[in-house]
Structure 1
Amino acid sequence: MSQKKDASVAAVLDLLDLLAGEGPANRFEAVVEEARRQGVTGADLRRVEQTKRLALAIQARLERRQQWSAALTTLVDTASDLASPHTVEDTLKIITRRARLLLGADVAWVTLPTAEDDGEFRLHSLDGHVTMLNARLRLPKGAGLAAAVLAHRAPLWTSDYLTDDSFRHAGELDQWISAEGLHAVLAVPLSRTAAAAGSLHVADRSVRHFSADEIALVNMLAEIGGVALDRAVYLDETVAEMSALRERVLRAEAGQADARGLAAAQGALLDLVLGGCDPQLLVEECRLRLGAPVLLCGPRGAAIAASGDLSGGALEDFARAAKDAGTLLDPSPALLDDGIWCLPVLAGSHHLGALYVQAGPALSGDTAQLLRYAARAAAVLLSLQEGGGTVLEGQFRDELLGDLLISAPRPRDVLERRARRLGIGLDQPHVVVVARPDGDAQAHAATRASSCARRLNGLQTTHEGDIVLLLPGTDPGAAARTVHDELSSLPGSPPTVSGAGPVSDPGAVLHGYREAARCLDAMIALGATGTPASTHEMGFVGLLLSDQVDAERFIQSTIGAVLDYDEQRLTELVRTLDAYFDTGGSPTYAAEKLHVHPNTVARRLERIGDLIGPDWQRPERALEIQLALRMSRIRRVLRERKAPPGDAAGAQDA
């Protein structure tokens, strides 16, 4: 018995020795078997077996503590690693690699919301994968463990992903899980505060049940990773903002340098102009700064100065481009043929010419601005050569005509004195012209009309939405046609232009304007838009529109030739016209009324056509002729009442 007792004590000591030495678990069972061979039985054997179980439990607990300690060390190392600045992509790679090592899993990845914020997720930073099916893999909204984890805000796991129906599956993700051979999957929320949350996943290629300690470790890693990911996102955004700010600073510095260069160029050009240079020197300076051939032309296209490689062919190209462009009024450079750019030379609203540069098919912003400066310098130079008062004179002309059109007129002597300073005599005959262009062409038309008025030594202004001109002359119709031709070369529909007058008194300008404005409104109402006309050319309509009804002028312009013929040759053409219209335009009935042969009436009607035109029988002309006949008859009756009685003169056939 003593021998068996010693054997059981020895077995207990061996078990304790194995526990102290962290021996393998199979060695513990070997000690129990050895005690049985030595005859240990009964209570002693049960004591040995109980000691084995306790030793194994202590060893398992020690191993668990060691594993937990190692896991905590790994977490600390991970936190220390993530404490250093990393990009978002590097941060995600650290999180997935440490998660896989922490649990000894086969694969780890992170799911994050897509940039479109449409409720879908995308896989990021896979670690341990062996296929490429995950490329651009997206999870539809509400599918996979990721959606379930974010919905519950708690860890979820499955021992066999493809056979688990407790969550919604996604076809592409299941295909990838199958291709990777994954079974057990653990997903925990990736805690974030600065952006939408994601989830951290670890997976094994075998069926596995995750312990509470493993879930807790991965959850802690996800919390640490979420904080680090927030900081990485903020860091990336800060770096991007700093990079963008640096680019803006560089662009601003470059723009400032360009602006200084442009300011220096503008100053140099103006110094040349103010120093009394001629156009040729200015154009040569422009060529040096623009690096391209330059041509300066006057308002009618005549070359003033040229510089650069302008051979005969180049000059022909410039001339052809200038002819095709016409008169440009847009202050921005316009591309013509063969890379030739054109910019008008304007002094206020006055067109002084154009600047042409052969700079290629495209202009940089600095070149375009330098070209504008060159055009302005040319405008100053040409203005100074014309006497230095072009812009100011144009303003005086506009203001003078504006004062002539107000209802409360200024003193006549003041207006005449102001006009004389501009070389205009308001006591001389002038006609008033009113033009109404399309709305889009109003500004350009006003500039063109101002140039026309200056050229004709007249006045121009804009009044009540219309362009008004006061031009020297006695024929308002001819003046209206001149202005119409001048403005019709602009883009868009031709303007409607009317004329009235002549006027020879400052106070009569307003009446002439009103008459021309009424004529313009009548032309538009009659469908005559886009044409020129005057009140004198509109027949009886012009008679009605006139401020002062001039019946004598209307009669003379309509049938004056017939009246003069009757008076000079003692014929009866007027009486024949009366009979012709009274009988409804029938020569036969007119002959019966006049008691003459029908051939006589026919000859008289032919003579009438020779005198007033072959179209006198058209309805509109016939109406005016009948009106003129009646007015002539009334005038004759009134004159006979005032004149002393006398013998009536005889008459004979034409």
Structure 2
Amino acid sequence: MTDPQTQDTGLMAVLELLADQAPAGRFDALLQRARREGLSGEALAGLERAVHLARGVQAWQGQRRQREDGLADLVDTARDLTSPHDVESLLEVAIRRVKRLLNFDMTSIAVLDQEGSLRVAVSNGSTTALVTGHSVPAGFGLGHRSLLSRAPLWTADYLEDDTVEHDPSADAVVRAEGLHALMAVPMCNGDQTIGVLYGGNRSVRHFSPDEIGLVASLAALAAVAVERAGSYEQAQGEVGRLERDGFRTRTSLVRLQQLNEAHSHTLGLVLAGADLTTVAKAAGDALDSALQLRDPAGRPLATSGDLGEPDEAAVAEAALDAHAHLRPVVTADGTWVAPVTAGAEDLGVLVLRPGTALVGEDEGLLQLTAQTFAIQLLLRRSTAVAEGPVRDDLFDELLAAHARSGHQTHYLVQRARGLGIDLEAPHVLLVAHPEGGEQGRAVVWASSYAHRMTGLKTVHSGHIVLLLPGTDASAAARAVADQLSPLLGHPVSVGAAGPGRGAADIGRMHREAMRCLDALTALDGTGGTASAKDLGFLGLLLSDDHDVDGYISSAIGPVLDYDRDRLTDLIGTLESYFASGGSQANAADLLNVHPNTVSRRLDRVTDLLGDAWQRPDRTLEVQLALRLHRSREVLRRQRRAGTAAPHAEASSAGRSVS
């Protein structure tokens, strides 16, 4: 029979070990000592029962402590996940926590891409570079199954588990990492699916429900945190975008205010009566650009800054496009061309070379500037029309100035000076005759053109007469024809004369210009332009002053200069060449030189006069100039001889007296 006191002592020893949280080996040692001391029967069975219960209590306490530690770690993890992080940093925090809490060898998170595959975004504990970035196609592996079931799935030995749909590429990664046990937990937040949290061990392992629940809780926390971080990043991006839009809007408003002020200033200058150059300077400063206003023929009217050397062919093409689309056009080298129009009328173009690239607001100011110039040109035209009768009357009186007294002529000069016209400066006179159409439109244009060029205009015997400052009558005539013909839609014939100075020359130039216009008609040159210089020897006959020297100089002047500078006689060679009927061999006989010498001299003449000197019309002019030159030289020698003879007789008489 067992001693009750001995049995109680054994039970007390078990309780003491349990209270001291003794390891399992101490309980085994207690049982062995009791057997050695002869404890048997009911006492030994009771002691063994007590030890078994104590071990159960210890296991329960261990599980409780583990659960408490897990909850504490879960709280710490939640605190970490709620701290400010970007999405990638949050994913890394989550896999580090899961790896430490569950004692995994490797953890990773895969996110869903647009194709439905799971792509590994981050990993921890991997030993190869194959994990991060690897994609598992839809329908394969534990991850996709866990997403479909929205529940954690695990396997103790992944590669040996036939219940899993294996993907060869994924199996290769698992094999390279040496993984066996694998757990996949979906990361979901409501209906939103983020991805899958993976945990793996490099040995066979069976996971307990507590471990699976803990990983599921961590995955849910991570899903919430990742979605929150994604929303935060999206919000930050939206805030940044709104800030940039706000900055651009504020900048645009400031620029619009500046451009509005610049346009108001430019328009104010126009209304105040400023000239084109002043307005161009203000517009160029506002646009930080060099610009040039050109008329429809491409001639500059006003310039601000240095345009450099733009590609004129590209500018001309851009001008056509600008007028066709009624908006500014930019060329390949960055030059802008804006149309200057009034309704359907082409008033010219504005050519601009910006210092910096033009933005939308600047392009708008460019259009407004072009419109401002159009207004200014129309105002000038209106002013010209308003002043037209006064200026026309003055011009009519100047045309008849040869019949007036000197006092009256002086009065006319003073009146012209009051209108800003200096008659003592060189002027040319043009007589234009539109070949068809209404004359009224041409007269209006001529009034504006004369006002713009600081000249005068009138209508005389059905012709438009222009007095313009300048020295090149031919160029002035071509300019008028080039601008007026497209405006009227039919040819314009222009006769020209000048330059001349003073009121007395105006009548002479008018008569000469009329004769040139009549010559154009007689020579079937309708729609052309001509001055006495352009008409060659015919112009010499039509000119009032019969400028022989000027005619000779225009026809053979370069040859005369060459002979004078180099003491040669190309003029003599030309005379012999024409005297022999254009035969170089006969000319050589006349000159007593070799034919090759004549050939070289004529080549030199070609270099000096150009290839066209042997055309029939030019040949006639050259021969006439040679005759005039030879006659002039003979007359000069005769005058010198006549002057020398009286001196010789006086000298002889003196010697006789002595």
Contact 1:296 1:353 in 2 (8 A): yes
Mark the runs of 5 or more structure 2 residues left unpaired by the alignment: 386-434, 448-461, 463-481, 491-658
Q: Sort the Cα spacing of 1:18 and 1:377 in 2 relative to 1 into closer, same or farther, 3 A.
A: same
Aligned letter for 2:348?
A: G
User: How far does residue 453 in structure 1 lie from its aligned partner after superposition?
Assistant: 13
* 3-state SS, counterpart of residue 58 of structure 1: helix
1:302 aligns with 2:284: no
Q: Deviations over 1:199-258 (max 9, x none)?
A: 222211211000111112222222233333332222222222111111111111111111
* 3-state SS, counterpart of residue 210 of structure 1: coil
* 3-state SS, counterpart of residue 191 of structure 1: strand
Write the distance in 2 (CA, Å) between the matches of 1:121 and 1:187. Answer: 12
User: How far does residue 281 in structure 1 lie from its aligned partner after superposition?
Assistant: 0.5
Q: Sort the Cα spacing of 1:337 and 1:132 in 2 relative to 1 into closer, same or farther, 3 A.
A: closer
User: How far does residue 325 in structure 1 lie from its aligned partner after superposition?
Assistant: 5.1
Aligned to 2:45: 46
Q: Sort the Cα spacing of 1:102 and 1:338 in 2 relative to 1 into closer, same or farther, 3 A.
A: closer
1:278 aligns with 2:275: yes
Aligned to 1:264: 261
Write the distance in 2 (CA, Å) between the matches of 1:155 and 1:277. Answer: 85
User: How far does residue 22 in structure 1 lie from its aligned partner after superposition?
Assistant: 1.1
Q: Deviations over 1:555-606 (max 9, x none)?
A: xxxxxxxxxxxxxxxxxxxxxxxxxxxxxxxxxxxxxxxxxxxxxxxxxxxx
Q: Deviations over 1:271-310 (max 9, x none)?
A: 1111111001011122223333321111222221122236
1:214 aligns with 2:211: yes
Contact 2:290 2:355 in 1 (8 A): no
User: How far does residue 61 in structure 1 lie from its aligned partner after superposition?
Assistant: 0.8
Aligned to 1:378: 373
Q: Deviations over 1:459-496 (max 9, x none)?
A: xxxxxxxxxxxxx9xxxxxxxxx9xx969x9xxxxxxx
Q: Deviations over 1:120-160 (max 9, x none)?
A: 11113323323221232111111111111011222210001
Equivalences for 1:59-208 in 2 at 5 Å?
59-114=58-113, 116=114, 118-193=115-190, 195-208=192-205
Write the distance in 2 (CA, Å) between the matches of 1:138 and 1:455. Answer: 79
* 3-state SS, counterpart of residue 289 of structure 2: coil
Write the distance in 1 (CA, Å) between the matches of 2:244 and 2:71. Answer: 45
Mark the runs of 5 or more structure 1 residues left unpaired by the alignment: 391-428, 433-450, 458-471, 473-481, 490-496, 498-654
* 3-state SS, counterpart of residue 123 of structure 1: strand
Aligned letter for 1:377?
A: T
Q: Sort the Cα spacing of 1:456 and 1:143 in 2 relative to 1 into closer, same or farther, 3 A.
A: farther
Structure 2 residue corresponding to 1:243, chosen from 240, 243, 250: 240
Write the distance in 2 (CA, Å) between the matches of 1:76 and 1:370. Answer: 63
Q: Sort the Cα spacing of 1:97 and 1:304 in 2 relative to 1 into closer, same or farther, 3 A.
A: same
1:234 aligns with 2:234: no
Write the distance in 1 (CA, Å) between the matches of 2:215 and 2:356. Answer: 64
Contact 1:7 1:35 in 2 (8 A): no
User: How far does residue 338 in structure 1 lie from its aligned partner after superposition?
Assistant: 5.2
Q: Deviations over 1:332-367 (max 9, x none)?
A: 333347543221111222210111123379544344
Contact 1:335 1:361 in 2 (8 A): no
Q: Deviations over 1:585-632 (max 9, x none)?
A: xxxxxxxxxxxxxxxxxxxxxxxxxxxxxxxxxxxxxxxxxxxxxxxx
Contact 2:98 2:107 in 1 (8 A): yes
Q: Sort the Cα spacing of 1:5 and 1:55 in 2 relative to 1 into closer, same or farther, 3 A.
A: same
Write the distance in 1 (CA, Å) between the matches of 2:25 and 2:332. Answer: 98
Structure 2 residue corresponding to 1:334, chosen from 329, 346, 349: 329
Write the distance in 2 (CA, Å) between the matches of 1:337 and 1:33. Answer: 103
Q: Deviations over 1:37-89 (max 9, x none)?
A: 22222222222222211111110111011111111122222233334443322
Write the distance in 1 (CA, Å) between the matches of 2:85 and 2:317. Answer: 63
User: How far does residue 455 in structure 1 lie from its aligned partner after superposition?
Assistant: 6.6
Aligned letter for 1:57?
A: G
Contact 1:71 1:217 in 2 (8 A): yes
Contact 2:319 2:349 in 1 (8 A): no
Aligned to 2:518: none
Q: Percent identity?
A: 35
1:352 aligns with 2:351: no
Contact 1:338 1:361 in 2 (8 A): no
Write the distance in 2 (CA, Å) between the matches of 1:61 and 1:54. Answer: 10
Write the distance in 1 (CA, Å) between the matches of 2:96 and 2:150. Answer: 23
Write the distance in 2 (CA, Å) between the matches of 1:87 and 1:238. Answer: 12
Contact 1:129 1:180 in 2 (8 A): yes
TM-score by length of 2: 0.56
RMSD: 3.5
* 3-state SS, counterpart of residue 133 of structure 1: coil
Write the distance in 1 (CA, Å) between the matches of 2:189 and 2:444. Answer: 76
Aligned letter for 2:264?
A: G
Write the distance in 2 (CA, Å) between the matches of 1:238 and 1:320. Answer: 52
Equivalences for 1:380-459 in 2 at 5 Å?
380-387=375-382
* 3-state SS, counterpart of residue 189 of structure 2: coil
Aligned letter for 2:364?
A: Q
* 3-state SS, counterpart of residue 81 of structure 1: helix
* 3-state SS, counterpart of residue 157 of structure 1: strand
Write the distance in 2 (CA, Å) between the matches of 1:46 and 1:383. Answer: 126
Q: Sort the Cα spacing of 1:44 and 1:454 in 2 relative to 1 into closer, same or farther, 3 A.
A: farther
Aligned letter for 2:117?
A: E
Q: Sort the Cα spacing of 1:286 and 1:341 in 2 relative to 1 into closer, same or farther, 3 A.
A: same
Write the distance in 2 (CA, Å) between the matches of 1:269 and 1:380. Answer: 11
Contact 1:295 1:357 in 2 (8 A): yes
Contact 1:150 1:197 in 2 (8 A): no
Contact 1:318 1:356 in 2 (8 A): no
Write the distance in 2 (CA, Å) between the matches of 1:337 and 1:247. Answer: 31
Contact 1:110 1:201 in 2 (8 A): yes
Q: Deviations over 1:150-185 (max 9, x none)?
A: 112222100011221212222332222222222111
Write the distance in 2 (CA, Å) between the matches of 1:325 and 1:112. Answer: 55
Contact 1:340 1:360 in 2 (8 A): no
Q: Sort the Cα spacing of 1:322 and 1:50 in 2 relative to 1 into closer, same or farther, 3 A.
A: closer
Write the distance in 2 (CA, Å) between the matches of 1:78 and 1:323. Answer: 73
Q: Sort the Cα spacing of 1:167 and 1:296 in 2 relative to 1 into closer, same or farther, 3 A.
A: same
User: How far does residue 324 in structure 1 lie from its aligned partner after superposition?
Assistant: 5.7
Write the distance in 2 (CA, Å) between the matches of 1:362 and 1:174. Answer: 58
Equivalences for 1:607-626 in 2 at 5 Å?
none
Q: Sort the Cα spacing of 1:258 and 1:158 in 2 relative to 1 into closer, same or farther, 3 A.
A: same
User: How far does residue 260 in structure 1 lie from its aligned partner after superposition?
Assistant: 1.3
Aligned letter for 1:31?
A: L
Aligned to 1:16: 15
User: How far does residue 384 in structure 1 lie from its aligned partner after superposition?
Assistant: 0.9
